[in-house]
Structure 1
């Protein structure tokens, strides 16, 4: 005879009906037991296969039905069969267990010392040359390690580091925060980039104060290079007059080439026609490049290996 759905709800200690999150925590430890019993339709056989005492398994099934308020099994001696409610529940349980197994396989694969994954963030200006060269050098000794690569500006990468989306990031300036570890790796000189037909284009060197009357094109607020630009101009005794703000250094070079302003930028991966790049003699124009990670966050073997590799490149991170 088919068992009827029980009318009482499972109550929390406070007397309120369990919410879905609480019910999930309550049921989760018993789901694999339920799937095993449902598969064998025999409590003793399921207990033997799962290597748990039969009494433990029987009590778990009774408690599962009590917590749900629904009969999942029709019992005939030592054998059991699923009720319609049990068959419905089993389909969802099998999908949930398969998803858990898939997730377990994924995190184990990502942590594998040989074939694991590193989630690595870096500045846009590092993407065309620096990062590819670093990964190529690292994979000489770790040829099967995989990378999830994220290009972004500094503040956005730090937030992704804090949220756990990134393991490591190359950024500038080197962050100084109690929840982060930052290590300086190298320094990159900045140049004043001017149009090829600009009044200063015949010069090789310049004091930044000489560009006080120029219109600047810069990265948007929030970018480390924008903060450095504003600070260098302040040190030179002026506040830059900004005509355009962008998100990538090469876009700014294009704006300079079009005669729309001047810019303080790191060296390009490939020289761009239409611009001249001047060495800034005063104030000292450079930015620190460093690696950052979340303090106290455990590293998987591939992340630890890549972190060690980056730290070994101190002073030799950037191309000549």
Structure 2
């Protein structure tokens, strides 16, 4: 079998990964030549079809046979026919070339400035209004661009940028890492959310220090909003007593409505019964929203267009919230 003999040759050269990689680099450019000769069973016609000198094609096939240690063609003048090993090898080569062509078509399609793809991540709290509005506005001028959307917390999205899962993400706070670039786009006010029977529920504005004796419900460590909550409480002179930790802000609102604590949260898309949302006057309770991407990573045209669009929304990213309930 071709596979067995080529494997033996690889092993005889050493099983080191570098040796195998070198052999593959030598083999791959010759596979398309081999497949073309196999289809025509004639070296001259194959050379004319693909537009290379006949001598180049002949040498490439001979070198392929030498590298594999297998005779792929039986030769009669310029006419050739596949050996049994050649027929076995051809079926694998055609599958491999077809897969490469599909991959090439896929990346070309993704990079098409009119109909390519953008992998875009954003915080859960921006999924109900902000992101749909952004996509609607962008697609007015780029109707065929496709999106892969990922909702997650900040650290997970930064990891997605590093692994290539994401092209861009909206996150908070901005990343502080040498391999990532962040640009501030807007800020979002945070409110102290309390049960509607809470002692502060009749107020419109409070200082955060007034909640120092309350228990808090917060997002889990690792979420940007949790870090911001801890920092704001520290500025107000206390460490929050955390009763419950969750993964989603609307779940926290439900816990507040159930009387299980208070929370610092961005405004809801739809008012939630059972809670009152209070403006925090001191310290200044906001979170910065920014756009992040991997430094040095080349943008495809659709990614570059969407990045330019998002940066143009600086100061206008977050819709103006309604006034908190009194």
Report deviation, 1:179.
1.6
Contact 1:114 1:302 in 2 (8 A): yes
Q: Aligned in 2, Cα 1:190/1:286: closer, same or farther, shift over 3 Å?
A: same
Provide the residue aligned with 2:243 in structure 1: 243
Provide the residue aligned with 1:266 in structure 2: 266
Report deviation, 1:24.
2.4
Is the partner of 1:113 in helix, strand or coil?
coil
Provide the residue aligned with 1:84 in structure 2: 84
Report deviation, 1:177.
2.0
Contact 1:117 1:146 in 2 (8 A): yes
Instruction: Tell me if 1:228 matches 2:225.
Output: no
Q: Distance in 2 between matches of 1:96 and 1:21?
A: 16
Structure with the higher fraction of residues in helix conformation: 2
Is the partner of 1:200 in helix, strand or coil?
coil
Q: Distance in 2 between matches of 1:302 and 1:114?
A: 7
Provide the residue aligned with 1:61 in structure 2: 61
Is the partner of 1:277 in helix, strand or coil?
strand
Provide the residue aligned with 2:299 in structure 1: 299
- Superposed CA deviations along residues 255-299 of structure 1, whole A, max 9, x for unmatched, are 111111111000011111111111111111100000011122211
Q: Distance in 1 between matches of 2:161 and 2:51?
A: 42
Q: Distance in 2 between matches of 1:141 and 1:126?
A: 22
Contact 2:116 2:146 in 1 (8 A): yes
Instruction: Tell me if 1:257 matches 2:257.
Output: yes
Provide the residue aligned with 2:40 in structure 1: 40
Provide the residue aligned with 1:16 in structure 2: 14
Q: Distance in 1 between matches of 2:5 and 2:156?
A: 52
Provide the residue aligned with 1:111 in structure 2: 111
Map 1:198-213 → 2, pairs under 5 A: 198-213=198-213
Range with greater deviation from structure 2 (214-223 or 292-301): 292-301
5+ residue gaps, structure 1: none
Structural RMSD (CA): 1.9
Contact 1:43 1:78 in 2 (8 A): yes
Is the partner of 2:188 in helix, strand or coil?
strand
Q: Distance in 1 between matches of 2:93 and 2:228?
A: 55
Contact 1:9 1:17 in 2 (8 A): no
Q: Distance in 1 between matches of 2:299 and 2:188?
A: 28
TM-score by length of 2: 0.93
Q: Aligned in 2, Cα 1:304/1:8: closer, same or farther, shift over 3 Å?
A: closer
Contact 1:8 1:69 in 2 (8 A): no
Q: Distance in 1 between matches of 2:31 and 2:6?
A: 22
Report deviation, 1:176.
2.4
Provide the residue aligned with 1:279 in structure 2: 279
Contact 2:6 2:68 in 1 (8 A): no
Q: Distance in 1 between matches of 2:253 and 2:268?
A: 9
Q: Distance in 2 between matches of 1:151 and 1:61?
A: 51
Q: Distance in 2 between matches of 1:94 and 1:251?
A: 53
Q: Distance in 2 between matches of 1:231 and 1:117?
A: 37
Contact 2:191 2:264 in 1 (8 A): yes
- Superposed CA deviations along residues 230-268 of structure 1, whole A, max 9, x for unmatched, are 001111111111111111111111111111111100001
TM-score by length of 1: 0.94
Instruction: Tell me if 1:27 matches 2:27.
Output: yes
- Superposed CA deviations along residues 115-148 of structure 1, whole A, max 9, x for unmatched, are 1111111011111110000000111111111111
Q: Distance in 2 between matches of 1:233 and 1:295?
A: 33
Q: Distance in 2 between matches of 1:317 and 1:232?
A: 23
Q: Aligned in 2, Cα 1:188/1:92: closer, same or farther, shift over 3 Å?
A: same
Q: Distance in 2 between matches of 1:118 and 1:295?
A: 17
Provide the residue aligned with 1:187 in structure 2: 187
Is the partner of 1:39 in helix, strand or coil?
helix
